[in-house]
Copies of this chain bind each other. A is one copy, B any other.
């Protein structure tokens, strides 16, 4: 929890972490709110609010599904893509400054740990 809070604090303030996570999901392809909610382990209403914030700020666009009137497709706008990249750059700059202080061998440990945890979380 402490590490998570610390990272949150240090990360850029441009876009909140959970918003950034959603934007990253939309980088590859458009998704529906329900799909996003499932991926992010959040209820659909939560995702609605998160997405609404992004839409208001012009980072994400809603598009009706022509085949299924109930559904909505969400995708990054050009501005959203730019912001995603910029936010990543800033966040990575902070992280890189921390990682410079540790050895290559320690970095490798973190890479492997991330793989293991990602696998455990997805099971």
Residues of chain A touching chain B, judged by Cβ–Cβ distance below 8 Å, are: 1-6, 9, 17-18, 21, 40-42, 98, 101-102, 106, 109-110, 112-113, 116-118, 120-121, 123
Please pick, from B3, B102, B109, B123, the residue contacting A109 in the complex, using a CB distance under 8 A.
B109
Given known A-B contacts A1-B4, A5-B41, A106 and B116 have beta carbons under 8 A apart: yes
Given known A-B contacts A110-B116, A112-B109, A117-B110, A41 and B102 have beta carbons under 8 A apart: no
Chain B positions within 8 Å of A123 at CB level? 98, 101
A117 to chain B, nearest CB (A): 5
**Pairwise interchain contact A121-B41, C-beta atoms closer than 8 A:** no
Chain B positions within 8 Å of A102 at CB level? 116, 120
**Pairwise interchain contact B1-A117, C-beta atoms closer than 8 A:** no
Chain B positions within 8 Å of A2 at CB level? 21, 40-41, 121
A15 to chain B, nearest CB (A): 13
Chain B positions within 8 Å of A106 at CB level? 112, 116
